[in-house]
Chain A
Amino acid sequence: MANPPIPVITVNNVIKQFGRFAALRGVTAEFDAGKFHAILGENGAGKTTLLRALAGLAQPTRGEISIFGKTPQQACREIGYMAHPSLLYDEMSGVENLRYFGRLYGIVGDARCEEAIRSVGLDPTLTRAVGQYSQGMRQRMSLARAILHDPRVLLLDEPFSNVDVHSARAMVGLLKGMRDAGKTVFVITHQARLLEGAADEFVWMQSGEIVDRTSSLNREDVQ
Chain B
Amino acid sequence: MNSVWAVTVATLVKDIRLEWRSKDALNSMLFFSLLVVVIFSFSFDPTAEESREIAGGLVWVAFLFSAVVALNQTWARELRNQVLDAYRVSPAPANSLFLAKAVGNFFLVSLLEAVMAPLFIVFYNLRSLGPSWELIPVALLGTWALVVNGTFFAAISLRTRSREIMLPLLLFPISIPAVQSMVEATRIILAGDGTARFWIILLLTYDVVFTTASLALFQTVLHAE
A and B: bona fide binding partners: yes
Interface size on A, residues (CB 8 A): 28
- Among A52, A77, A86, A96, the residue within 8 A (CB) of B91 is A77
C-alpha spacing A126/B37, complex, angstroms: 44
Given the complex, which residues of A lie within 8 Å of B6, measured CB to CB? 103
Q: Are B86 and A79 in contact (CB under 8 A)?
A: no
Number of A-B contacts (CB under 8 A): 76
A100-B14, A103-B2, A104-B2 given; A90·B80 CB < 8 A: yes
Q: Give per-residue flags for B1-24: 1 if the beta carbon is below 8 A from chain A beta carbons, else 0.
A: 110001100110010011001100
C-alpha spacing A103/B92, complex, angstroms: 8
Shortest Cβ distance from B176 into chain A, in angstroms? 33
- In the complex, the chain B residue whose C-beta lies closest to that of A106 is B2
Q: Are B18 and A76 in contact (CB under 8 A)?
A: no
Q: Give per-residue flags for B71-109: 1 if the beta carbon is below 8 A from chain A beta carbons, else 0.
A: 000000100111101111111100000000000000000
Chain A interface main SS type: loop
Chain B: number of interface residues, binned into ranges: 20 to 34
Given the complex, which residues of B lie within 8 Å of A106, measured CB to CB? 1-2, 91
Shortest Cβ distance from A161 into chain B, in angstroms? 14
Return 21 A-B CB contacts under 8 Å, by A number: A57-B88, A79-B89, A81-B86, A81-B89, A83-B85, A85-B82, A87-B85, A87-B86, A88-B81, A89-B83, A90-B80, A90-B81, A92-B18, A103-B7, A103-B10, A103-B92, A104-B2, A104-B7, A104-B87, A104-B92, A145-B86
Interface residues, chain B, with chain A CB atoms under 8 Å away: 1-2, 6-7, 10-11, 14, 17-18, 21-22, 77, 80-83, 85-92, 223-225
